[in-house]
Amino acid sequence: MKHLNILYISLSGNTTNFVERLTQHLATLDVCVHAINVKATPDPKPLDAPFVSFLPAFLKGGNGVNNGYTEILTGILADYLVYADNYKRCVGIIGSGNRNFNKQFALTAKQYAQRFGFPYLTEFELRGSENEIVRIGQMLLAYAQPTPSAAWPNPEA
């Protein structure tokens, strides 16, 4: 059994739904997901092992070309990453959003990758399709850890 740590935010439930389905899929590949939703547990703590982040885009107005770059509502994920230099253990970020937002689609995760210097891995829309669960699950196998780590919730608990 390997272990995959995920730090994410979900405000209206789409990302939580994706992470839950990803968790079920990865369990069939002998990978146990340990996930923290910073909306539910906003008090940051030091994260002592490598992890992947998931971030849906919430931007203020605009079009993502001339304006509309300002993050709203999701800044507590940035706060969590800044706390205790947690961002240094983030191995990459996955963006999501709604393609109706055109150039702003999944833009906040791209902004975080640039700001914190970790890779932008990929994106999915809304709750993601089953194909995206399989595709992203395959991608994330590379970041699974050989042992669980104390800072991350034990899904059995």
Ligand X SMILES: Cc1cc2nc3c(=O)[nH]c(=O)nc-3n(C[C@H](O)[C@H](O)[C@H](O)COP(=O)(O)O)c2cc1C
User: Under the criterion CB under 6 A, does residue 57 sit at the interface with ligand X?
Assistant: yes
Does 69 interact with ligand X (rule: CB under 6 A)?
Answer: no
Nearest CA-CA partner of 6 in 122, 138, 153: 153
**Residue corresponding to tokens 């923290």:** 36
Q: Is 106 in the site for ligand X (CB under 6 A)?
A: yes
**In the complex, minimum distance from the CB of residue 31 to ligand X, in angstroms, rounded to a whole number:** 22
How many Å apart are CA 123 and CA 110, to the nearest integer?
Answer: 10
Is 105 among the residues that bind ligand X (CB under 6 A)?
Answer: yes
Q: Is position 124 an interface residue for ligand X (rule: CB under 6 A)?
A: no
Q: Transcribe 97-145 into DSSP letters.
A: E-GGGGGGTTHHHHHHHHHH---EEEEEETT--HHHHHHHHHHHGGG-B
The residue (of 3 and 58) whose beta carbon lies closer to ligand X is 58
Which stretches of the chain bind ligand X, using CB under 6 A?
A: 10-15, 56-59, 96-98, 101, 104-107, 126
